[in-house]
Amino acid sequence: MQQIADAMEQYAASLTPDVIRSAKQTESGAQQLQRMEYAIGTIGKALILTDFKLDQSKDLDKLKGFRSQQS
């Protein structure tokens, strides 16, 4: 978990407004930004759902439902 947190912090520092604006200039860059946004949203939703201390199977069902809505 430490490695994931470290990597996310490093990537967040690298993703400056100039980098984002530059990426939006190409179709490929825009797609990559969209993938990142989806991943961040999924991570956030998973963190929120697990804070509710619900049954783990219900957590997974809700997360799957969220992911299918994002597609």
Q: Return averaged pLDDT per consecutive 10 residues of the chain, 71 residues in all.
A: 93 94 97 94 83 65 75 63
Output the pTM of the full model.
0.65
The pLDDT of residue 31: 97
- Please give the pLDDT value at position 56: 63
- DSSP notation for 3-63: HHHHHHHHHHHH--HHHHHHHTTSHHHHHHHHHHHHHHHHHHHHHHHHHTT--HHHHHHHH
